[in-house]
């Protein structure tokens, strides 16, 4: 891969081999698209889904610890990283169907699944739409879209944090593809700059990997598809019943109490934990804590 200004970054294969635990980079043709994933370790299956603006590499700090207990699969979602970028199918129900098809391709009858950010939405949809495939499910910092999303404020009062301006901007048709292209490193630096207590936790190599994964109009179009599908996601959410699989929610200093209030209304068996020193990017901000929470929950 090549990032902005021609900076060479490692391929997914090279990144996978750099991790202890014998990780490999693979692809699978499933549900009419081609998904990229990295796998390693041994034990029961655990699927990890990342979010925006990242790739499977977002899990690299926790993968070795999880691989000691599980066969881990860190997946690039439809439209992300090494996966295909089809014209449509970016609603979370279809993206969850991608993962369900991947589970079958891998030969499993059911799996544990965890998601962060956009991956958290897909993990929830997976548990809602494929309960027989779901052993346990973990959500990190981001709920599935519902009617409350229409009430989110564009302006934040001073001292109360930042607005999620990119949630709205990424829904604008055709414009992000023009303005982001060639500038994703700056976008990524801004996002991490406002959502990391310690900027060193996501280093230059990590940011170069993410920028290379998003820095063309077609890659930006695909990523924006996740946001442009929110209205469909909200309608789909209305049709879902109660999650029957045990559900773990991990919230930040900003979302912990919200998760405590929300998640018990969505699932029968709920546990909520706090990543108190994290702003949003949990697996990179507090990898030891996140690995411990996941190991305890999925054990």
* pLDDT recorded at residue 282: 96
Exposure b/e, 104-136, CB count within 10 A at least 16 = b: eebebebbbbbbbbbbbbbbbbbbbbbeebbbb
Mean pLDDT, rounded, for 277-291: 96
Sequence spans of domains, the chain: 4-146+159-298
Residue 245 has pLDDT above 80, yes or no: yes
The pLDDT value recorded for residue 118 is 98
Structure confidence at residue 155 as a pLDDT band (50, 70, 90): confident
Check residue 2 and give its pLDDT.
52
Tens-place pLDDT, residues 126-135: 999 999 999 9
pLDDT at position 229, please?
98
- Tens of pLDDT, residues 13-31: 999 999 998 999 999 999 9
pLDDT digits (tens, 9 = 90+) for 178-229: 999 999 999 999 999 999 989 999 999 999 999 999 999 999 999 999 999 9
Would you say residue 6 has pLDDT above 70?
no
Percent of the chain whose predicted confidence (pLDDT) is above 90: 92
Beta carbons within 8 Å of 199's beta carbon, 6+ residues apart: 192, 193
Q: Which CATH number fits domain 4-146+159-298: 3.90.1150.10, 3.40.50.1820, 3.20.20.210, 3.20.20.70?
A: 3.40.50.1820
Q: Compute, in degrees rounded to 10, the torsion defined by CA atoms 167, 169, 172, 177.
A: -110
Average pLDDT along the chain = 95
In the predicted structure, residue 174 carries a pLDDT above the cut 80: yes
pLDDT score, position 136: 98
pLDDT digits (tens, 9 = 90+) for 70-124: 999 999 999 999 999 999 999 999 999 999 999 999 999 999 999 999 999 999 9
Which residues, including other chains, have CB under 8 Å from residue 72's CB and lie 6 or more apart?
Answer: 39, 40, 41, 46, 48, 63, 66
Residue among 53, 59, 52, 54 nearest 38 (CA): 59
| CB of 79 closer than 8 Å to CB of 222 | yes
Residue 1 has a pLDDT of 56
Per-residue pLDDT at 163: 83
* Percentage of the chain lying above the pLDDT 70 cut: 98
pLDDT at 237 over 90: yes
Which pLDDT score, from 0 to 100, does residue 205 have?
97
Q: Band the pLDDT of 156: cuts 50, 70, 90.
A: confident
Which residue stretches of the chain are H helix?
12-17, 63-67, 92-106, 118-129, 165-169, 175-180, 184-193, 204-214, 217-228, 230-237, 256-262, 282-285, 287-298
């Amino acid at each position: 891969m090549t990032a902005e200004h021609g900076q060479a970054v490692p391929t997914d294969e090279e990144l996978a081999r750099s991790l202890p635990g014998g990780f490999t980079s693979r692809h699978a043709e499933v549900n009419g698209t081609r998904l990229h994933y990295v796998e390693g370790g041994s034990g029961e299956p655990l699927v990890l889904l990342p979010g925006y603006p990242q790739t499977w590499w977002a899990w690299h700090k926790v993968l070795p610890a999880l691989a000691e207990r599980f066969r881990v699969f860190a997946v690039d979602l439809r439209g992300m990283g090494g996966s295909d970028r089809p014209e449509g199918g970016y609603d979370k129900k279809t993206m969850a169907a991608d993962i369900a098809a991947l589970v079958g391709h891998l030969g499993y009858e059911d799996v544990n699944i965890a998601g962060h950010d956009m991956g958290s939405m897909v993990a929830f949809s997976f548990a809602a739409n494929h309960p027989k495939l779901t052993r346990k499910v973990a959500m990190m910092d981001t709920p599935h879209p519902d009617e409350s999303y229409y009430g989110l404020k564009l302006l934040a009062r001073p001292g109360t944090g930042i607005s999620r301006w990119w949630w709205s901007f990424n829904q604008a048709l055709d414009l992000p593809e023009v303005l982001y292209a060639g500038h994703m490193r700056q976008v990524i630096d801004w996002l991490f700059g406002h959502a990391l207590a310690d900027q060193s936790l996501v280093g230059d190599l990590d940011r170069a990997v993410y920028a290379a994964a998003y820095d063309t109009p077609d890659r930006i179009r695909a990523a924006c598809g996740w946001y442009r599908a929110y209205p469909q996601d909200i309608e789909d959410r209305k049709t879902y019943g109660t999650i029957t699989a045990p559900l773990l929610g991990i919230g930040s200093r900003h979302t912990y109490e919200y998760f405590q209030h929300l998640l018990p209304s969505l699932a029968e068996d709920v546990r909520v934990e706090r990543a108190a020193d994290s702003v949003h990017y949990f697996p990179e901000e507090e990898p030891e804590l996140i690995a411990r929470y996941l190991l305890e929950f999925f054990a």
